[in-house]
Amino acid sequence: MARYSSKISNRHMVAVRFSSMGDVVLTTGVLLDWHKKHGTMFTVITKEAFEPLFANHPAVHNVIGFDEDDLRGQTMTINFRGLMEKYRDSPLLDLHRNLRSAMLARIWRDAIICYNKMALARRLFLWSKGRFFGEELRRYNVPQRYAIGLYDKKDVPSAAELRPRIFLSEEETSRAQAQLTALRREGSPLVALHPFATHEAKTWPMKEWMHFAGLLRQEGISYFWVGQGEDLPEEEKSRSFVNETGLRELCALVGAADVLVTGDSGPMHIATAVDTPALAMFGPTCREWGFFPSGERDKVVQLDMPCRPCSLHGAGTCPKGNACIMNITPERMLEELRTMLS
């Protein structure tokens, strides 16, 4: 693994992270921390859909977004060679370490700095059902693993120092507050609900979310829905922004909420990045994978079950009917939410 040294340019680096949304959000605090300490400006290479996450970021002066067609076959080869030629005197900070980023690194002319995925430790932890490497994995969350390539392990900043950051403009914030005016009752909290996840085992089915929404109404807690996924029942449409927002608008709406309730998802990290406390349920995934939210007011609800974790990303089927999520009841989440709001 290449490491930062005095011979590596501190003026400019190229950082690459293609997906997924949550992983991309988690790069933002690492770039900001290095910029504050060294003045480095970054060009970010990512998926076109995630470009808006870096708007107004003080450490990022350029974002290059690719769609899927740009990252296939000969087109990808041409694009990568163009990047190499344009930034041939800048180090490459590979925060992905997948096949695509490895192909870019292979032709890069300057220094290569790599994300420490701790892949072997994760797989042995999973295989051993938590007997091996747990302490090592808990020591570094994902932003800290990103930063290991820049710092020696003993010097890696704390999770709080590398907390993700999304920089909203005053206009974006004001627009979101105006959109929520009709839903916010004076003196009452306003909660954002994100009922979706990349893998369905990482969150409740919609029936449980509807039950939770009913409990919020009984409690007198105002709420609204955000995200991309299945349409909500008709009775919830007046509170729903589902499938109706761009990425920046989603960030601003989450930023205007008092708490975001979600599963293990990308918007969970967005909440941390815009200073909204996240109340997250974790089922098939776990803290050791490095994705727990890192805000000081964030809260994770999880159950101690011998079969957890069952996968690296929450994919696959469960013979127990996703008990690790389904046994986290809406009543339990409401109890935790009450504590957070108080």
Q: Are residue 212 and residue 308 in the same domain, yes or no?
A: yes
Structural tokens at position 49: 């859909």
Residues 251, 199, single domain; the answer is yes
Domain-terminating residue out of 152, 186, 220: 152
189 and 82: one domain? no
Q: Looking at the structure, tell me whether residues 178 and 129 fall in a common domain.
A: no
Asked if residues 197 and 314 have their Cβ atoms less than 8 Å apart, the reply is yes
The answer on 55 and 105 residing in a single domain is yes
Please report whether residue 7 resides in a domain.
no
The band of 314, judged by pLDDT with boundaries at 50, 70 and 90, is: confident
pLDDT tens for 235-244 read 999 999 999 9
Give the pLDDT mean for 172-199.
Answer: 93
- Residues 201-249: tens digit of each pLDDT: 899 999 999 999 999 999 999 999 999 999 899 999 999 999 999 999 9
Q: Give percent above pLDDT 70 in the chain.
A: 97
- The CATH number of whichever domain residue 59 belongs to comes to 3.40.50.2000
Q: Are 240 and 163 in contact (CB under 8 A)?
A: no
Looking at residue 9, its pLDDT comes to: 56
Q: Is the dihedral of CA 281, 285, 286, 288 positive or negative?
A: negative
Does 16 fall in a domain? yes
Average model confidence (pLDDT) across the chain: 93
**Cβ density class 44-74: b for 16+ within 10 Å, e for less:** bbbbebbbbbbbebebbeebbbbeeeebeee
Residue 167, Cβ density class (10 Å: 0-12 exposed, 13-18 middle, ≥19 buried): middle
Please state, in angstroms and rounded to a whole number, the distance separating the CA atoms of residues 256 and 276.
Answer: 8
Number of structural domains in the chain: 2
Which one, of 290, 241, 293, lies nearest residue 267 by Cα?
293
Between CA 149 and CA 264, with CA 275 as vertex, the angle to 5 degrees is: 70
SS3 of the chain: helix, strand, coil, percent, to 5: 40, 15, 45
Q: Determine contact, residues 104/116, Cβ cutoff 8 Å.
A: no
Whether 184 and 301 map to the same domain: the answer is yes
Q: Are residues 265 and 231 in the same domain?
A: yes
Q: 8-22, 32-46, 58-72 — which is least confidently predicted?
A: 8-22
Query: Do residues 327 and 179 share a domain?
Result: yes
Query: Do 19 and 126 reside in the same domain of the chain?
Result: yes
Question: Does residue 2 lie in a domain region?
Answer: no
**pLDDT surpassing 90 at residue 322:** no
pLDDT bucket at 3, cuts 50 / 70 / 90 = very low
Q: Are residues 206 and 289 both part of a single domain?
A: yes
Last residue of one domain, picked from the residues 126, 152, 178? 152
Do 132 and 50 lie in one domain? The reply is yes
Statement to judge: residues 116 and 200 lie in one domain:
no
Report residue 339: phi and psi, to 5°.
-65, -45
Average pLDDT score over residue span 128-154 = 93
Which of these three, 123, 152, 181, is where a domain ends?
152
6 part of a folded domain? no
Residue 162 lies in a domain: no
Domain of 224, in residue numbers: 170-341
